[in-house]
Amino acid sequence: MGRRVLLIEDEPHIAEAIRFLLTRDGWTVASHGDGSDAMDVIRREVPDVLVLDVKLPGRSGYDILGELRADPTLAALPVLVLSARSRQEDRDMAAEIGASHFMTKPFGNAEIVAALRQMAQT
């Protein structure tokens, strides 16, 4: 299928679990674990879909998302925001900044695969 996802997640076990699920589903997966240079990696990788953790070393996922949405070349990139916090205000903030989808940790395996499949089609 040729779908490419970039995973910006600093927790190695979560990154590896998502990589395993998506690779098995036919995705090409690149990953990165630091927020401070995440925008450089996103521009270099040019993924079809981005999975972005909120709490990253160096820079918040919300800050990264805001910069993405302000960049005309990346503004339409589908972004799934991952967060350990499930409060409505966190969901609202992600939506306000421009998240395509919000998912809390822990997430269901089928749930994340289905969300990314859907996001890649839009």
3: left (phi over 0), alpha (psi -120 to 50) or beta: beta
Cα torsion for 71, 72, 77, 79, to the nearest 10°? 30
Residue 101: which H helix or E strand, with range? strand 101-104
The pTM for the full model equals 0.94
Please give the pLDDT value at position 86. Answer: 82
Domains in the chain with CATH codes: 4-121 (3.40.50.2300)
Residue 28: which H helix or E strand, with range? strand 28-32
Please give the pLDDT value at position 121. Answer: 86
**Which amino acid type is present at position 29?**
V
Please give the pLDDT value at position 93. Answer: 92
Could you tell me which of 28, 22, 25, 38 has the C-alpha nearest to residue 4? 28
Extract the tokens encoding 72: 């005309």
Q: pLDDT tens for the chain, 122 residues: list them.
A: 469 999 999 999 999 999 999 999 999 999 999 999 999 999 999 899 999 999 999 999 999 999 999 999 999 999 999 999 888 998 999 999 999 999 999 899 999 999 999 999 85
Non-local CB neighbours of 11 within 8 Å, separated by 6+ positions: 53
